[in-house]
Amino acid sequence: MLDKSIKELSEGLQSGAFSSVELTQRYLDRITRLDSRYNSFVTVDEASAMAQAKAADARIAKGEATLWTGIPLAHKDVFCTDGLRTTCGSRMLENFVPPYDATVTANFKQAGAVCLGKTNMDEFAMGSSNENSYFGKVINPWSDEIERVPGGSSGGSAAAVAARLAPVATGTDTGGSIRQPASFCGITGLKPTYGRVSRYGMIAYASSLDQGGPMARSAEDAALMLQVMAGHDPKDSTSIKQDVPDYAAALEQSIKGLRIGLPREFFNAQLDSRIQNILQDAIKVLEAQGAIFSEVSLPNVELGIPAYYVIAPAECSANLSRFDGVRYGHRCEAPEDLMDLYMRSRSEGFGDEVQRRILIGTYALSAGYYDAYYGKAQQVRRLIKNDYVNAFGNVDVILSPTTPSTTFGIGSKGEDPVQMYLEDIYTITTNLAGLPGISLPAGQIDGLPIGMQLTGNYFDEARILNVAHQFQNATDWHTQAPHGIHD
C-alpha cells in the first residue's frame, strides 16, 4: 500500500479495498513509529485527520467521491491551516493558530484530501538543509552511516514522502526549496510558474519568488496535485488568470521531436563528473524516445546567486516586519518600552539565518545602497529572464542538474553561510525568471539519490511533467526507497 500511486489509492478507496480511516490510520501509525528518526513533522493532528477520513468514507459510501476523496497528505508548515498550528519552523509562531486556510490547503480540503499534519522546514523557508528549524533538524531517510540533510527548505515534506510517512506533500520553492530536497530525498518535486499557484495564506519569505508546488514519488502524482493547487485566486493579485490544463492527460503524450536544451554554463568542468555521467544516461533515455538535444546558452546565470541574495533578503526584511510581538506571535517577557518589545521579541523569536537575511535585506535597501544592490539585482534578474526567453526560442525544455552534489552530512557545511547558498546554483535562476521547474530522480551516487532538473517555458508545467513521466516510464529511479522504512 505504501508504494501505491494516488490513482491506485483512489481506486482502492472507491472500490472498497480499504477505507480512508484505515489508510489514514496506517500513515498516522507510521508517523508515530518512525518519525522520531526523521523529525519530518512539526504537528500531527490525529483527531482531526481521523475525522476527515471518516467524513471521506461517508462520501465514498454515498458515491460522491472524487479522485482525492480520502487520500492523506501533509502540508509544509508554511501554509496556514484553519484551526491547526502553523509555525513556519519558527519560535516566532510556535503557538500561532491561523483562523483561515491558505488557498492551497483549502483547495485540498475542498477536493476531499485528509491532512495528516504539518511538515518541518527551515525557519521561514530560509535554508537549503533543514538545519534552521526551531523544531529541530530533519534527517534524510537515505542517511547511511552519516546522518544526512534532506535539503531545504521543504525538507520535512521531502523526508516524509521519501520515508512513506505521507503519500504526497506540499512544498514551497523560493530559490530551490522544492527541487533541491526532492533531489536529495529521491522524489519528484515541481515549482510552478510564478503566479500559477495562489500564495494566499502561504507565509511569505520573498514574495516575488515564492511558489507553492507538489512533492510526490512520481510525476503522475505531482500532476494530480498540481491540478488541485493551480488556478487564479482573487485573494492573490499576483496569481494569473490563465486556464489550467489537464495535467494528467498531457502525461502520456509522445516526446518524439521534442527539443531539449542543455545549458553550456551548467554542463561545465565544475560539474561533478558522476552527476555528469548520470545526466548523460538520462539524456540517452530521452533520446531513445525521440527527444532532440542541443546546447543552449544562458550567459548571465552565474549572476543568479548574488542577485537572489539581494532580492530575497530585501523582500524578506519587509515581509517579516509584521512579526513585531504586538498582535500575535512571540512576545518577550516584561518589555520595558516599545523599542525593547520590538528588539527582544524579534531577537528571541527569529533564528540566526532569518536574522542574517533580514539584516542583509535592510542593508541592501538602505538610502545610498539601493541602486548599487537592489537596483542592480533587478537588472540582473531581467538579464537572466531574457537569457531564458532567448533559449526557449530554440528549445521546448531545458535539462540541467538540480544540485551540485548528493545529500551532505548534517553540520558539514560549517559556519560559512555562503557555502550553503551555493547549493542553489542550478535552481535559483528559474525562480528569478519565474519559470516552472521539476526535479526527478535520475540516478544514485554511492547509494544516494540525485535528481535532474527540467525547466519549462512559462505555464508549460504540462510539458515538463510529460517529459518527467515519460522518463519515469522508462526508468525505476523514482521507485527506489531508502532502507529501513518499510513495516
Partner 1 sequence: MQWETVIGLEIHVQLATKSKIFSGSSTAFGAEPNTQASAVDLALPGTLPVPNEQAFRYAILFGLAIDAEINKRSVFERKNYFYPDLPKGYQTTQLDKPIVGPGHVEVDLPDGSSKTVRIHHAHLEEDAGKSLHEDFHGMSGIDLNRAGTPLIEIVTEPDMRSSEEAVAFAKKLHSIVTSLGICDGDMSQGSMRFDVNISVRPVGQEEYGTRTETKNLNSFRFMERAIKLEVERQIDVIEDGGRIVQETRLYDGDKDLSRSMRSKEEANDYRYFPCPDLLPVVFEDDYIEALKEQMPELPDARKARFVAQYSLSDYDASILSADAATAQYFETVAEHAGDAKLSANWVMGELSGRLNSEDILIQNCPVSAKALGQLVLRVKDGTISSSGAKKVFGILWQGEQNDVDQIIDQEGLKQVSDTGALEAMVDEVLAGMPDQIAQYKAADEKKRKKLMGGFMGPLMKASKGQGNPKLFNEILQRKLNG
Site for partner 1 in 238-257 (CB under 8 A): 238
Which is nearer to partner 1, 48 or 208 (by Cβ)? 208
Q: Which of 254, 268, 297, 321 binds partner 1 (CB under 8 A)?
A: 321
Contacting residues for 113 by C-beta, under 8 A, at least 6 apart? 68, 69, 70, 71, 72, 73, 228
Stretch that binds partner 1, among 67-75, 139-147, 288-296, 324-332 (CB under 8 A): 324-332
Residues 471 and 122: their CA atoms lie apart, in Å, by 31
User: Residue 149 and residue 141: Cα distance in Å, rounded?
Assistant: 9
**Has 191 been annotated as catalytic?**
no
Report the nearest approach of partner 1 to the CB of residue 341 (Å). 9
Site for partner 1 in 179-218 (CB under 8 A): 199-204, 206-208
Look at residues 365, 371, 349 and name the one whose alpha carbon lies nearest to residue 316: 365
Which residue out of 177, 218, 239, 400 is catalytically annotated?
A: 177
8 Å CB contact between 167 and 24: no
Single out the residue of 17, 61, 249, 326 in contact with partner 1 (rule: CB under 8 A). Answer: 326
**Residue 18 engages partner 1 in binding (rule: CB under 8 A):** no
H runs (alpha helix) in 97-174: 103-111, 155-162
Residue 367 binding partner 1, by CB under 8 A: yes
Q: Which of 220, 265, 315, 387 binds partner 1 (CB under 8 A)?
A: 315
Using CB under 8 A, which of the segments 13-21, 264-272, 291-299, 316-324 binds partner 1?
Answer: 316-324
Nearest CB to partner 1, comparing residues 52 and 87: 87
The reply on whether position 327 binds partner 1 by CB under 8 A is yes
Residue 102 touching partner 1 (CB under 8 A): yes
Question: Is there a contact between 290 and 100 (Cβ–Cβ < 8 Å)?
Answer: no
The single residue among 48, 355, 362, 386 that binds partner 1, judged by CB under 8 A, is 362
Stretch that binds partner 1, among 129-137, 319-327, 423-431, 469-477 (CB under 8 A): 319-327
Total residues at interface with partner 1 (CB under 8 A)? 43
The reply on whether position 284 binds partner 1 by CB under 8 A is: no
370 lies in the site for partner 1, by CB under 8 A:
yes
56 contacts partner 1 (rule: CB under 8 A): no
The one among 12, 70, 98, 171 contacting partner 1 by CB under 8 A: 98
Check if 76 is active-site.
yes
CB of 100 to partner 1, least distance (A): 6
**Least distance (Å) from partner 1 to the CB of residue 2?**
32
Q: Which ranges constitute the DSSP H helices of 148-263?
A: 155-162, 179-185, 219-229, 247-250
Work out whether 379 is an interface residue with partner 1 (CB under 8 A). Answer: no
Nearest distance from C-beta of residue 137 to partner 1, angstroms: 23
Q: Is 394 in the site for partner 1 (CB under 8 A)?
A: no
Closest distance between partner 1 and the C-beta of residue 241, in Å?
12
Cα 298 from Cα 441, distance rounded (Å): 24
235 lines the binding site for partner 1 (CB under 8 A): yes
Residue 201 C-beta: closest distance to partner 1, Å: 4
Of the candidates 51, 58, 271, 365, which one interacts with partner 1 according to CB under 8 A? 365
Strands (E), 313-447: 397-401, 437-445
Q: Report, in Å, the least distance between residue 294 CB and partner 1.
A: 35
Selected from 8, 46, 236, 302, the binder of partner 1 by CB under 8 A is 236
Contact 45, 75 (CB under 8 A): no
405 is catalytic: no
State the residue for C-alpha cell 507538489. 214
Q: Which residue do the cell numbers 523529525 mark? A: 39
Candidates 78-86, 241-249, 415-423, 453-461: pick the segment binding partner 1 (CB under 8 A).
Answer: 78-86
The residue annotated as part of the active site, out of 19, 76, 317, 413, is: 76
Choose between 16 and 234: whose C-beta lies nearer to partner 1.
234
Q: Which window, 36-44, 310-318, 393-401, 473-481, contacts partner 1 (CB under 8 A)? A: 310-318
Among 1, 18, 59, 100, contact with partner 1 (rule: CB under 8 A): 100
Binding site for partner 1 (CB under 8 A): 79-80, 86, 88, 93, 96, 98-100, 102, 199-204, 206-208, 234-238, 314-315, 317-318, 321-324, 326-328, 338, 342, 362, 365-367, 370, 374
Residue numbers annotated as active site: 76, 153, 177
